[in-house]
Amino acid sequence: MIERFEDVIIQTLCRFLVPFMQLFALYVIAHGHHSPGGGFQGGCILGASFILLCIAYDIKEAKRRMTEKLNVTFCCLGVIIFGGIGVVCLILGANYLDYGILHKLLPVNIPEARSLGILGIEIGVGFAVMAAMVSIFLNLASGGEHEEALE
């Protein structure tokens, strides 16, 4: 068993680090078109920022910022965004996940519509991966009780 203790240096450092991690995660998700990255990588970084909060503070503090309900909602929302974009393409008369047809809805030409479709599903993947990382970590680390980690 590991004794829990409050360390001012670690907690302050993490408090400063977390916003920059989240900003970087959003950059990785949004910049997947031009550089290595995308939904999976960005979602992992975003989830890691919440896991860092769990480790530096405790699970209660992390759950105060990201409640369990919100977490599961994000997880489902990610998959729904992904599947929903596919269904929108289907309704507009193209194949499932054929984003080119989105140019009927948006004021762009076909290649740019496909680019925007890619961005949309990257955002969905990012949400789902972030929520999955956090929920798997919380449940495994605390034995499902969400009281204290690493007990």
Contact 38, 29 (CB under 8 A): yes
Task: Give the SS3 label for residue 60.
Answer: helix
- Which region among 2-10, 11-19, 57-65, 119-127 touches other proteins (by CB under 8 A)? 119-127
Q: How far is the CB of 47 from other proteins (least distance, A)?
A: 10
Q: How far is the CB of 43 from other proteins (least distance, A)?
A: 9
> How many residues at the interface with other proteins, by CB under 8 A?
42
Q: Decide if residue 115 touches other proteins (CB under 8 A).
A: yes
Residue 125: both structure tokens together: 């993947």
DSSP 96: T
Which residues make Cβ contacts (< 8 Å) with residue 41, sequence separation at least 6?
28, 32
Q: How far is the CB of 126 from other proteins (least distance, A)?
A: 10
Q: Is 27 exposed, middle or buried (0-12, 13-18, 19+ CB in 10 A)?
A: middle
Q: Residues in the site for other proteins, rule: CB under 8 A?
A: 32-36, 38-40, 72, 75-76, 78-79, 82-83, 86, 96-97, 99, 111-112, 114-115, 117-118, 121-122, 124-125, 128-129, 131-132, 135-136, 139-140, 143-147
